[in-house]
Structure 1
Amino acid sequence: MNYYIITGTSRGIGKALAKYLGASPDNRIIGISRAYSLSLQNYKHVEADLADIPALLRNVDSLLEVPDDATSVTLVNNAGTIGEIGHLGSISDESIDYAMRLNVTSPMILTNAFMRLFANRNVAKCVINISSGAARNAYDGWSSYCASKAALDMLGMVLAQETALDESDMNVYSIAPGVVDTEMQARVRSSNGQGFRSKQIFVDMKEKGQLASPESVAEKLARVIQHPEEFGDLLIDFWEPAE
């Protein structure tokens, strides 16, 4: 049985991926999020606020529990926030702290626990971090998002190096899904243009129908998970510029 532990399954990419993978009777999905939004026979919802680090530290091992019938286990670190949009000096310190807890600290703790629990277990293993083009390109007003996603990329790079040195049978990917039609993009388009000078680019993309759907991204993610032999690079970008 294939087990998929996916964070942030209440909406967007995480929800779409859980639904896509949940269509197969050979898969079991464990969704970790604050809200329950899926009704699938092979889906288990675990309510958790991943920005609550003390609670995560107390419960992380139980969040990642899978039965003995597992033949593969995949962790998808998807939950995240764009944080407060605005230039440094105008955003709150609290918003920076929250974004780093959700986007960096919690996936690192989950990945650390995943390795502790499964490194020596005889199952196929995969860790996928949902990154962003903002990890690899600077955008004004997105300091928390750019910095945290860059950190997530580096986490994946270190994990890949460590698993190679340990000769571990494991796949690691950091995937930028492109510009996706989610609530996060709605926040971007409604932000203050003075605090984010690239806003109009994203408004135009929405109006021109250039945003990817969460469902199309989920299908691509599943392809990476299920056919790793087709993907040699750790850093993957699904972004397809408009012609």
Structure 2
Amino acid sequence: MTTDLPPLTLVTGGSRGMGLAMAQQLLASGHAVISIARHANPQLQAPSGGLLEQWTLDLSDGASAAQRLRDWLAAQPANRFASATLINNAGVIPPIAPLSASDPLELARALRIGLEAPMQLCAAFLAATESWGVPRKVLNISSGLGRRAMASQAAYCAAKAGMDHFTRCLALDEALKPQGARVCSLAPGVIDTDMQVQLRSADSAQFPDVGNFAQLKAGGHLTSPQEAAQRILAWLDRPDFGTHPVADVREG
């Protein structure tokens, strides 16, 4: 493999928070980056000679995003990149409420963005790169809430639990292939993002755990998006990446 070729990394939710931090760090280390988000971010800039594309797509329409990805990858020469990685980072928490008080449309949107789109993007990415002959990885950003139930969080917990389990299935699929991708669904820890603001600002009558999230912030227990991105990308670079298809960055 020619070592002067750039690695290719595709990141969903790359316009803000931890996704933005990962995209910035990847660009700084020489990766070609495709950011997929609802909005472009002018703070995300490629260094001189670097490759950056910001696709403004709504992941609630995962099928269209997957087709855009498949078409773009199919148009690339197989020898353009040293490796190919997909990071499914985007997610959304619908208005916080018990399931009985939740809006069906908001529930559907959360599941489309948090579960359906990652599956569709994985399928498109793996199919389009299978003949490239380069190392490939899929990193799905999960959550501890995919492994622990919480009141008023049914949609988010279900999306992340589904992500964990489809990643297990995907790992079995890829293990049967001569050059299968390595895959992992990784919980990134508790990070100081807009999602945390939403959780600790919720009505305690609707969200019994609001005090716990407020205490995490007050006690300085939240990881910055930049530090979280560093830890996640270090995990991605581990030689044993994918050995465990479901993992937690805090288990190091």
TM-score, normalised to structure 1's length?
0.92
| 1:35 match: secondary structure | coil
Q: Residues 215 and 123 from structure 1, CA distance in 2 versus in 1: closer, same or farther, beyond 3 angstroms? A: same
**Match 1:18 to one of 10, 20, 23:** 23
Letter in 2 for 1:11: R
- In the alignment, structure 1 residue 49 sits paired with structure 2 residue 58: yes
- In the alignment, structure 1 residue 40 sits paired with structure 2 residue 51: no
For residue 247 of structure 2, what is the aligned residue in structure 1? 236
Letter in 2 for 1:229: D
In the alignment, is the contact (CA less than 8 A) between 1:80 and 1:103 conserved in 2? yes
> CA–CA distance in 2 between the matches of 1:72 and 1:221?
18
| 2:116 match: secondary structure | helix
In the alignment, is the contact (CA less than 8 A) between 2:151 and 2:208 conserved in 1? yes
| 2:139 match: secondary structure | strand
1:63 to partner: Cα distance: 5.0
In the alignment, is the contact (CA less than 8 A) between 2:13 and 2:90 conserved in 1? yes
> CA–CA distance in 1 between the matches of 2:66 and 2:232?
28
Q: Percent identity?
A: 33
Q: Residues 224 and 54 from structure 1, CA distance in 2 versus in 1: closer, same or farther, beyond 3 angstroms? A: closer
For residue 112 of structure 2, what is the aligned residue in structure 1? 101
**Match 2:34 to one of 27, 30, 34:** 30
| 1:157 match: secondary structure | helix
**Match 1:157 to one of 168, 185, 189:** 168
Letter in 2 for 1:34: R
> CA–CA distance in 2 between the matches of 1:53 and 1:163?
22
| 1:174 match: secondary structure | strand
Between 1:181-190 and 1:220-229, the stretch displaced more is 220-229
For residue 122 of structure 2, what is the aligned residue in structure 1? 111
For residue 8 of structure 2, what is the aligned residue in structure 1? 3
- In the alignment, structure 1 residue 135 sits paired with structure 2 residue 146: yes
> CA–CA distance in 1 between the matches of 2:101 and 2:196?
21
1:113 to partner: Cα distance: 0.6
Structure 2 unaligned residues grouped into runs of 5+: 1-5
**Match 1:176 to one of 180, 187, 190:** 187
Structure 1 unaligned residues grouped into runs of 5+: none
In the alignment, is the contact (CA less than 8 A) between 1:36 and 1:45 conserved in 2? yes
| 1:194 match: secondary structure | coil
1:52 to partner: Cα distance: 2.1
In the alignment, is the contact (CA less than 8 A) between 1:46 and 1:63 conserved in 2? no
Between 1:216-225 and 1:9-18, the stretch displaced more is 216-225
For residue 220 of structure 2, what is the aligned residue in structure 1? 209
TM-score, normalised to structure 2's length?
0.89
